[in-house]
Chain A
Amino acid sequence: MTVKPRPRNSVSDARKLVVANLSKSFGSTPILKDVSFEIEEGEFVCFLGPSGCGKTTLLLCLAGLESPSSGEIYKNGQAITAAPPSQRDVGIVFQSYALFPNLSVYDNIAFGLVNLKWAKDKIRETVRGLVSLLSLEGHEAKYPSQLSGGQQQRVALARALAVSPSLLLLDEPLSALDAQVRTRLRGEIRDLQQRLKITTVMVTHDQEEAQTLADRIVLMNAGRIEQLGTPWQIYNEPATPFVADFMGVSNLILGVVRAQNEVVCEQFNLRCDTQAHPVGTKVQLLLRPEDIAVIARTNVPDNAPVNLLQATIVKIEHLGAVVRAHVLMASGLALKVDISKRDFDPALHGVSQALGLAIDPTDIRLFAQ
């Protein structure tokens, strides 16, 4: 397959990875539906979403291991949609490590360099550099089965990086590891990426992983991109209720805009910014548990600038830094409320005790229903 040159005007910056209107279906089942986005050089992007949302298929399309049904992929201004993996200059790391079981750590890392017919001493030098970069000293002669999961994944990373690819693809590389190793390797991957300035795409279903690692997150659902943005934007300015629910913990309440800046939900009213939603429309409200303040019931001022509500505690969960109270309002509406450890008072915040809640109108986000 030849790489066809494409008109430049379709791509603004030559140093970019551009995905344009990509679709993919297996038989009659659509996996990706008209996906478009751009990745800057040196950027760390995470494809985040629930299982079955198409994120891995999208990654495999970038690698050339899957062919899209329609749409194009451009790299440095050239269409590479039909290019085989060997011509794409990518490194790939899988969740299962996929190390060659019969080759030593050294031979695994050197595998791609041997394909490039490098001189032996040059290979040795490069492998040695990667071994120390990924703290694998002393393991060179071992076989993959003699290493821990974290070490195996480091070898897989070293093998992918050895050929200095211009794009590094990581398919849930941390999912098979236990929690502590995962956190540590996560930091190492980010450091490595920053140091090598290598464009990196990682697939994950773990929102915390995506938030800590990525420059930008592509949040996917059912084959479409729900939102594309920085971790801060995705968490604080979710574009859809799905994003709000997927990122962190949320209370999603149904309501109707009754007047300007006033929404009625079940049997209580909330003041909030209703700019984008005309009076009479149905809306969905997002309240983050940490945005709901707990106030002592006795000192509730009558006309405060905030929304004030009454509720009863039904369950208390100790999560370490915060205590999560599950509360029930008189209308029967259940809410999750986070109380910081400092504010938590066992005497006041027990099951079946009454609780005053304060919500700043600016902390409420509205979505059209």
Chain B
Amino acid sequence: MSPQLLSGASVSLFARSKPQIMERSDWLVRWVCVAYCIAALCTIVLPVGALFLRSLKNADGAYVGVQNYLTYFGTSALFDSFLNSLLVSLVTAALVVPMAFAYAYGLLRTCMPFKSFFRGVALIPLLIPGVLKAIALVYLFGNQGLLRDWLFGHPLYGPIGIVGASVIWTFPFAVLIMLTALQHVDQRLYHAAAVLKTSAWRTFLHVTWPSCRYGVTTAFLVVTVSVFTDFGIAKVIGGDFRVLATDIYKEVVGQQNFEMGAVISVMLLIPAVFVFFLERRVASKQVSQFTGRSLPYTPKPSAWRDGVFLGWCIAVTVFIASVLGMAQFASLVKFWPYNLSLTFAHYEFEIEGVGWMNFSNSIWMATLAASFGTLIVFIGAYVVEKARRDITLRKALQMLMLLPMAIPGLVLGLAYLIFINTPGNPAGWLYGGMAILVISTVTHLYSVPHLTCLTALKGLDREIESVGLSLNTSVVRMLTQVTLPVCLAALLDVWLYIFLCAMTTLSAVIFLYSSDTKLASIAVIHIDETGRVASAAAMAMLLVYVCLAVRLAHHLIAQKVLRKFQPWRTS
């Protein structure tokens, strides 16, 4: 690049008609921003670029243009799996969104009892690895399942199983989105509608629906893209039903065909990126009707309505409990379904390449990812929020930090595998170690914690920073005395989020482990492949218990820490 070009770029990034007033803290923030941009380049842009380039090469490494894509579209079996993926993800979304809407409506808009209990129940699936949901369904509805007659002879393995497990898996996401959407409505709108003698249906159409339609759209998109890109469930319960994610796995792991794996990855990536931008568009259109002056909605009791929604919430609870209970029971039964006596034998994992070490690997990896991830995410969100002098830089960084949301884990994992094994890559030594698992997991999960931290930081008055500057406060003192204490609760939440996701993550790490760093979630897949499903359930149950314990510990610590360090909140 010519020096002229370089200086031109720096002008557009930093300079204005007159030099900006720069505090020392502004310089610090600027350089940290630049460092984050470089890091994002190395962990997201370059690997995905390498993946894309690989899709244009043949097995000998020569460029063949779109030849691989032509092969792909010419192979009907491969292209069928694209349609299959689309089918199961749309069906799942169409099922989950109304279910979640009804559930969230019951929690927020009725007077049914035990609301906080049901709110907790809806989030339980977050603690269960997706694979375990699939295994539980096998025990419930499979060929030798407890309730196999309920499927009227249709096979569980295939689309029905994938949709069923995916529904349980994505239910909490949809409920969380619907809760947010339904929370924000002004009771006065309902009062106004009532005074104007509006029928219940018209009230729903003109008051309830407009306030939550963007939430419904967002939930639909999030569920669709999650199922579309998921690997674990389809692997365990998909049978002969091919989807994109399992195709990638087969091409890469089974046939060592990285080029075709890269092509299918691009097929997976394009719809995901499209949905990402669509979702951001929807989100930006959501103009909140809920202002500071709004009156929060408080429902009035209505026997039949409360009863109906209570019934629905109980049904969901029973189903989730039976899935979890079935998985636990299956892992303890000697030989399903012939010998139902209980045993811990399945927890001994006498299978080659699998053992308790995988379990400790998982805990170790999740702890590292959560701890480093929280630190990195917070500093990143902090500089994005505070880079008041470098608007372009800040926008670029914000975009880069949301990008992981658009990249499916499997694609990111394969991109890392290809990128890191590129001859001459100085980071090549990372391959097979714990560090690459931590990096890929943190990168994969980056966006949601980033948004959480950003929200917490926005809770502080912008003018607080100005006051700090006028009082000649160093950036470190400002951070430790004011910003960190105020964001403590959010940081604990971020740590928990990364830990829980890292414990159950599969797609982002399936291509990157070595025998020394194999995680429990990967081990579950391998045990399942050997046909010892009870052992797979046992390994997955271990993950569930760790997640449950950490979740409870987080609750207790958060309460204690908040009481000690944030006394102003209790007032």
The 5 closest A-B pairs by CB, nearest first: A143-B568, A112-B471, A98-B463, A86-B472, A85-B469
Q: List 23 A-B contacts (CB under 8 A).
A: A1-B22, A63-B466, A64-B469, A67-B16, A67-B21, A68-B18, A70-B17, A85-B469, A90-B470, A94-B461, A96-B463, A98-B464, A100-B464, A102-B485, A103-B481, A103-B482, A115-B473, A143-B567, A145-B568, A145-B571, A146-B568, A159-B467, A165-B470
Once A85-B466, A96-B463 are accepted as A-B contacts, the answer to whether A67 and B482 lie under 8 Å apart by CB is: no
Which residues of chain A (141-170) have a CB below 8 Å from chain B? 143-146, 159-160, 163, 165
* A144 CB → nearest B CB, Å: 7
Across the interface, do A102 and B566 meet the contact criterion of CB distance under 8 Å? yes
Across the interface, do A100 and B571 meet the contact criterion of CB distance under 8 Å? no
Which B residues touch A145, using CB under 8 A? 568, 571
Tell me which of A63, A67, A91 contacts B19 (CB under 8 A): A67
Check A367 for interface membership: any CB of B closer than 8 A.
no
Across the interface, do B18 and A67 meet the contact criterion of CB distance under 8 Å? yes
Check B350 for interface membership: any CB of A closer than 8 A.
no
Which B residues touch A98, using CB under 8 A? 461, 463-464, 466-467
Which A residues touch B461, using CB under 8 A? 94, 96-98
Check A83 for interface membership: any CB of B closer than 8 A.
yes
Known: A1-B21, A64-B469, A144-B568. 9 other contacts (CB 8 A): A60-B466, A65-B466, A84-B469, A85-B23, A91-B470, A98-B461, A100-B464, A103-B482, A160-B470
Question: In this complex, what residue of B is CB-closest to A25?
Answer: B17
* Residues in B lying within 8 Å of A, measured CB to CB: 16-23, 460-461, 463-464, 466-467, 469-474, 477, 481-482, 485-486, 566-568, 571
Which A residues touch B16, using CB under 8 A? 67, 69
Across the interface, do A115 and B19 meet the contact criterion of CB distance under 8 Å? no
In the bound complex, what is the Cα–Cα distance between A162 and B17 (angstroms)? 36
* B43 CB → nearest A CB, Å: 33
Once A98-B463, A143-B571, A145-B568 are accepted as A-B contacts, the answer to whether A163 and B471 lie under 8 Å apart by CB is: yes
Interface string of A98-140 (1 = CB under 8 A from B): 1011110000000110011000000000000000000000000
* A66 CB → nearest B CB, Å: 8
Across the interface, do A115 and B474 meet the contact criterion of CB distance under 8 Å? yes
Check A222 for interface membership: any CB of B closer than 8 A.
no
* Residues in A lying within 8 Å of B, measured CB to CB: 1, 60, 63-65, 67-70, 82-86, 88, 90-92, 94, 96-98, 100-103, 111-112, 115-116, 143-146, 159-160, 163, 165
Tell me which of B18, B466, B472 contacts A115 (CB under 8 A): B472
Which A residues touch B18, using CB under 8 A? 67-70
In the bound complex, what is the Cα–Cα distance between A65 and B486 (angstroms)? 23
Tell me which of A69, A70, A111 contacts B473 (CB under 8 A): A111
Which A residues touch B567, using CB under 8 A? 143
In the bound complex, what is the Cα–Cα distance between A86 and B478 (angstroms)? 14
In the bound complex, what is the Cα–Cα distance between A207 and B152 (angstroms)? 79
Q: Is the interface of A mostly helix, strand, loop or mixed?
A: loop
In the bound complex, what is the Cα–Cα distance between A347 and B523 (angstroms)? 97
Across the interface, do A146 and B485 meet the contact criterion of CB distance under 8 Å? no
Across the interface, do A102 and B21 meet the contact criterion of CB distance under 8 Å? no
Once A85-B470, A90-B470, A102-B486 are accepted as A-B contacts, the answer to whether A115 and B477 lie under 8 Å apart by CB is: yes
Question: In this complex, what residue of B is CB-closest to A95?
Answer: B463
Question: In this complex, what residue of A is CB-closest to B566?
Answer: A102
In the bound complex, what is the Cα–Cα distance between A146 and B568 (angstroms)? 8
In the bound complex, what is the Cα–Cα distance between A137 and B341 (angstroms)? 73
Which A residues touch B21, using CB under 8 A? 1, 64, 67, 82-85
* A4 CB → nearest B CB, Å: 12
Across the interface, do A112 and B472 meet the contact criterion of CB distance under 8 Å? yes
Across the interface, do A86 and B485 meet the contact criterion of CB distance under 8 Å? no
User: Which of B21, B461, B485, B486 is most buried by chain A, counting CB atoms within 10 A of its CB?
Assistant: B21
* B220 CB → nearest A CB, Å: 37
Which B residues touch A163, using CB under 8 A? 471-472
In the bound complex, what is the Cα–Cα distance between A145 and B570 (angstroms)? 10
Which B residues touch A69, using CB under 8 A? 16-18
Across the interface, do B470 and A86 meet the contact criterion of CB distance under 8 Å? yes
* B18 CB → nearest A CB, Å: 5
Tell me which of A67, A92, A116 contacts B470 (CB under 8 A): A92
Tell me which of A83, A92, A102 contacts B467 (CB under 8 A): A92
Once A115-B471, A116-B472, A145-B571 are accepted as A-B contacts, the answer to whether A92 and B481 lie under 8 Å apart by CB is: no
* A62 CB → nearest B CB, Å: 11
Once A100-B482, A103-B481 are accepted as A-B contacts, the answer to whether A92 and B17 lie under 8 Å apart by CB is: no
Which A residues touch B464, using CB under 8 A? 98, 100
Question: In this complex, what residue of B is CB-closest to A84?
Answer: B23
In the bound complex, what is the Cα–Cα distance between A145 and B17 (angstroms)? 42
Which A residues touch B477, using CB under 8 A? 115
Across the interface, do A146 and B473 meet the contact criterion of CB distance under 8 Å? no
Tell me which of B17, B19, B482 contacts A82 (CB under 8 A): B19
Which B residues touch A115, using CB under 8 A? 471-474, 477
Question: In this complex, what residue of B is CB-closest to A68?
Answer: B18
Across the interface, do A63 and B470 meet the contact criterion of CB distance under 8 Å? yes
User: Which of B485, B566, B567, B568 is most buried by chain A, counting CB atoms within 10 A of its CB?
Assistant: B568
Question: In this complex, what residue of B is CB-closest to A92?
Answer: B470
Which A residues touch B566, using CB under 8 A? 102
In the bound complex, what is the Cα–Cα distance between A275 and B463 (angstroms)? 50
Which B residues touch A65, using CB under 8 A? 466, 469-470
Which A residues touch B460, using CB under 8 A? 101
* A77 CB → nearest B CB, Å: 20
User: Which of B19, B460, B467, B486 is most buried by chain A, counting CB atoms within 10 A of its CB?
Assistant: B467
Question: In this complex, what residue of B is CB-closest to A107?
Answer: B481
Question: In this complex, what residue of A is CB-closest to B474?
Answer: A115
In the bound complex, what is the Cα–Cα distance between A60 and B469 (angstroms)? 12
* A74 CB → nearest B CB, Å: 16
Once A70-B17, A143-B571, A145-B568 are accepted as A-B contacts, the answer to whether A102 and B470 lie under 8 Å apart by CB is: no
Once A67-B20, A69-B17, A84-B22 are accepted as A-B contacts, the answer to whether A100 and B472 lie under 8 Å apart by CB is: no
Which B residues touch A92, using CB under 8 A? 466-467, 470
Question: In this complex, what residue of A is CB-closest to B24?
Answer: A84
* B560 CB → nearest A CB, Å: 17
In the bound complex, what is the Cα–Cα distance between A334 and B567 (angstroms)? 60
In the bound complex, what is the Cα–Cα distance between A255 and B496 (angstroms)? 74
* B299 CB → nearest A CB, Å: 29
User: Which of A60, A85, A112 is most buried by chain B, counting CB atoms within 10 A of its CB?
Assistant: A85
In the bound complex, what is the Cα–Cα distance between A112 and B473 (angstroms)? 7
Which A residues touch B474, using CB under 8 A? 115
Which A residues touch B485, using CB under 8 A? 102
